[in-house]
Amino acid sequence: MDLYEHQARQLFEEYGILVPRAEVTDSPRRARAIARGLGGRVVVKAQVRTGGRGKAGGVRLAEDPAAAERTARQILGTDIKGHPVRAVMLAQPVDIESEFYVSYVLDRAAGRFLAIASAEGGTEIEEVAATRPEAVARIPVDPAEGVTSAKATEIVRAAGLPPRAADILIRLWQVLTREDAVLVEVNPLVRTTRGQIMALDGKVTLDDNARFRQTRRGEQEDPHTDPLEAAAAARGIDYVKLDGEVGVIGNGAGLVMATLDVVADCGARPANFLDIGGGASARIMSDGLSVVLSDPDVRSVLVNVFGGITACDTVADGIVRALDTVRATKPLVVRLDGNNAARGRAVLGDRAHPLVHQATTMDEAARLAARLADTT
């Protein structure tokens, strides 16, 4: 669960990290009043759960309260990387002497955390990391040991940060561990002309498995912005829209992920992730197929099911039901294996729909779906 910037800065404040004065609103008129209270000149920042706001026009300087109102009106309601802007944060500007980058991220493969830091923070940090990786320090952190004063000093020296940043690193580690986070990032962390170390921006991602402990942070959850995701969610279906042309349906997250990889290996791009679950009914299968077929980007659909709790004939019944209710104009490749697979294949064979193709293996099904997508 990603937090908004204003939620992240609130966390930082709670843990003693200095941040600029700021306030959030969804009203341009209120933005004028906030700017007046902050001294007139403010930075207006779109509140969306994605990066790259500055380059997308979502972060702008307003010289006075009237300009703050105009700027808020211009930003509110816009779209940044698929995220509609419903609120803006107005913050006091600060005089910056130096910009730095610091973060902690969970390294799942290594079973530990990784501290990433650089003396060259700001909007170009990704380019710095790509072109001059030596300018970015990556220090492993043992979760059992944590970030002690000695570890914080090690990170500071490796990255070339000011010594006073060590205290910030310790406090950010407390945010990470006490708030069930898997990512804590400050970009930029700045030294002001007055010598203060201050977090100007923040990104915090909480562990979804700890959501029950973090309900106060989830009060402003974004609704589904993609209409297909919203339609799937309304039906209780686990669906994520991707940018490809082969629709993918499977039962079980692991099988679906493997199917996405096999489709990609065949030179095609998956159009979605859709998991009908281990005990899905014919209705769930029908609803899932209806969502995928309604995606205009989809040129073919691959249904990959291993029958276990969900028997293959139940899946086949769902496919037939969907074909009876949805006008199918895209080819459908079905691979059934496991419990009642033969019976499921027979159900589809009896239906004899001209757009339905059956395959016996996952590789064969993926190759056929990729080929059909390329020719459709």
Identified catalytic residue from 120, 179, 185, 245: 185
Identified catalytic residue from 4, 101, 104, 239: 101
336, burial (CB in 10 Å: exposed 0-12, middle 13-18, buried 19+): buried
* Cis previous bond, 65, omega within 30: no
Q: Which two tokens stand for residue 234?
A: 């309304």
Question: Of 98, 108, 126, 111, nearest to 185 (Cα)?
Answer: 126
C-alpha distance across the termini of the chain, in Å? 38
For residue 312, the SS3 value is helix
The whole-angstrom separation of Cα 41 and Cα 51 is: 24
For residue 29, the SS3 value is helix
| Residue 4 annotated to the active site | no
135, burial (CB in 10 Å: exposed 0-12, middle 13-18, buried 19+): middle
The whole-angstrom separation of Cα 7 and Cα 22 is: 11
Q: Which residues are catalytic?
A: 101, 185
